[in-house]
Amino acid sequence: MELTIAAYRRLLELLRSKGYPFCFYDEADQYEKSVILRHDVDFTIEKAVEMAEIEHEISI
């Protein structure tokens, strides 16, 4: 898998198009299938901000 910001956006859009709801840990049992996003900011806060901006743009 390509590890770029563009690829991350495509992955999120693909998951959404396949009907996966995005939720928090405590909500996961409400869904048959779901996605829980976890962000480990080990190296660069700038990349985490880019990821958050993409998520915000597509309402995740």
Res 10: pLDDT = 95
1-54 confidence digits (pLDDT tens): 678 889 999 999 999 999 999 999 999 999 999 999 887 777 888 888 899 999
Q: Which domain holds residue 40?
A: 5-57
CA angle 50, 11, 60 (to 5 degrees): 60
Pairwise CA distance, residues 21 & 32, whole Å: 10
Which pTM does this prediction carry?
A: 0.80
Q: How many domains does the chain have?
A: 1
Helix and strand numbers (H, E) in the chain are 2, 0
